[in-house]
Amino acid sequence: MMRAAYGFIRIVDRMNRRIGRIAMYGIFALMGILLISSINKTFFTPTLWTLEMAQFVMVGYYILGGPYSLQLGSNVRMDLLYGDWSPRRKAWFDLFTVLLLIFYLCVLLYGAIGSTAYSLGHFTGEPISFFAGLLTGSEEIGHMERSSSAWRPYLWPIKVVMIFGFVLMLLQCLSEFAKDLLRLRGEEI
């Protein structure tokens, strides 16, 4: 059982570290898009796509970098009391709060799945059965949702990124949960 927990922690942490390190470079893509926007607004005709594309890149940067941030412990935490606690008390508190986070992420994931199904043209029924139907061929993609801006990009790609990011965050929360359980048992991580 312990080997399985250590293996799960190692796999999830390694995967989120790699994805998080790649997602960090999204800030350069964001800066490039905003630079193009500034240059075009100053010297040429303003472009329609830059603001919305910058928002999409920022969502990917934030959502895909979140699990790595949680892994590093660089998330915002109220250290007024927490900083003086013993490692065991911190583990108990983290164990409780990560369960709340897991519940919240499950709600977000379900909403993201429903929103993605809607963006692919599924307007009624259960979104999970829609995706299962897509795999089996009993469902078809309908009228796809587009942004209301003048550029009008499809919205499903960024919604898929959100689903992927929420799944990664859930896996990282489960890894943190396992780490806290091991700390409470006195194991070294």
* pLDDT tens by residue, 31-74: 999 999 999 999 998 888 999 999 999 999 999 999 999 999 88
Q: Which amino acid is at 18?
A: R
Full domain range(s) for residue 166: 2-184
Q: Which two tokens stand for residue 99?
A: 């369960």
CB atoms within 10 A of CB 81: 9
Integer Cα distance of 27 and 31 in angstroms: 6
Half-sphere exposure of 74 (CA within 13 A, CB side): 7
Integer Cα distance of 74 and 94 in angstroms: 14
For the chain, the residue count is 189
pLDDT digits 0-9 by tens, 88-121? 998 999 999 999 999 999 999 999 999 999 999 8
- On whether residue 167 sits in a domain, the answer given is yes
Per the structure, the count of domains in the chain is 1
Q: Which residue has the higher pLDDT, 26 or 187?
A: 26
State pTM to two decimals.
Answer: 0.90
- On whether residue 107 sits in a domain, the answer given is yes
- On whether residue 189 sits in a domain, the answer given is no
